[in-house]
Amino acid sequence: MSQLRITDVKVICTAPNGIRLVVVKVLTSEPGLYGLGCATFTQRPHAVVTAIEEYLKPFVLGRDPDDIEDIYQTAYASSYWRSGPVLNNALSGIDQALWDIKGKRANMPVYQLLGGKCRECAPLYAHASGRDFKEVEENVQRWREQGYRYIRAQVAVPGMATYGSRSMSVAGRPTWEPTPYCRLVPRLFEHLRATFGDEIELLHDIHERVPPIQAIGLAKELEKYHLFFLEDPFAPEDIDYFRILRQQTATPIAMGELFVNQNEYVPLIRDRLIDFIRVHISDIGGLSMARKLAAFCEFFGVRTAWHGPGDVSPVGHAANLALDIACWNFGIQEQTVFPEETRAVFPGCPEIRDGAMWPSDRPGLGIDIDEKEAAKYPFPDLPLNGSWAPIRRLDGTAIRQ
């Protein structure tokens, strides 16, 4: 019997709800056997496509798709200068697709290949934002009525381009100042606790937008409101501040959305400086690296909270879910609600109900792509080709966001 081989690698670009998604399809010498992987880097999708088509595709053609680890390690080193979101996302598309193939060959869901179920579903946190406290409160209540116990709350800062809420501008330019934000957020959580008590778990995302010392002060002020976690208090460039933060407050900390290299997150986990790892799994290289990261975190009391916004494709969400179900140290999963158009492009989108994401027993990642439907939604033309426009302080200084 001839050995199974990789015969082709296709990149499928689609934007069913205006978000540019990159999905990789790895085909094999067995008719009808293929796998899907997420390679979405929505701010630089064309660079990822080039990396896959021009470099990784020729590297993996003819390989045995069962050799996931060897393909990962050799492809990772093949560029000599390695890591970074472009190369990692390209590698992730291949890697996740190989896991999908292996699950299909075994006639098992990928979570079974990772050790089997630790839980029946993955609880989600929903996003509740608003122009003022009342609107945030109404949105929190709406999610509670749908069975959610974990809710991230964000509120607009009047006159500012606030992360997680409706943006405003000054003189037509997105504008931000950290001090009004740091004064407003504790008042929001005081209001929410007075309204809802301790019946729900509340979360908040700073999104690295304030100077580190102000983030430390905010974490201390929020401690009395018992957050489930406070996300991204610092930029990756400022991670040494975590040692100071840990000495100042017991507010649980989630970090990692922008991490692309092991040297960024290993010290934080090893030294028990964070409580939740928030990486975007395609940005760190895919399922192979993420499962190792989850196992490493377990030994240091760090729980998983994989990044799961709209610019993770449904294939990426299926990979998140496989890890959520199989990892003992699961913490929470960020929610994205899949609109009708997205569900049509990606048959088998993970089911969401009762505030949780539920796995299926379909083999592999349990999700497919309808290429004819995908072709109906080409990438839109975007200002700056999808780059994030700068947000500036009142004096014109650009901030990290």
By annotation, the residues acting in catalysis are 163, 207
Distance separating alpha carbons of residues 127 and 318, to the nearest angstrom = 20
Tokens for 64, please give them: 């045995």
Kindly tell me the burial class for residue 298, based on how many C-beta atoms sit within 10 Å of its own C-beta (0-12, 13-18, 19 or more). middle
CA 189 from centre of chain: 25
Q: Which residue, among 225, 222, 226, has the nearest Cα to 206 in the 3D structure?
A: 222
Distance separating alpha carbons of residues 276 and 229, to the nearest angstrom = 8
Q: Phi and psi dihedrals of 239, rounded to 5?
A: -70, -15
CB atoms within 10 A of CB 347: 12
Give the H or E element holding residue 326. Answer: helix 314-326
Distance separating alpha carbons of residues 126 and 164, to the nearest angstrom = 12
The answer to whether residues 86 and 47 touch, using CB atoms and an 8 Å cutoff, is yes
The answer to whether residues 33 and 7 touch, using CB atoms and an 8 Å cutoff, is no
Tokens for 293, please give them: 């990261």
Q: Which residue, among 8, 105, 5, 99, has the nearest Cα to 56 in the 3D structure?
A: 8
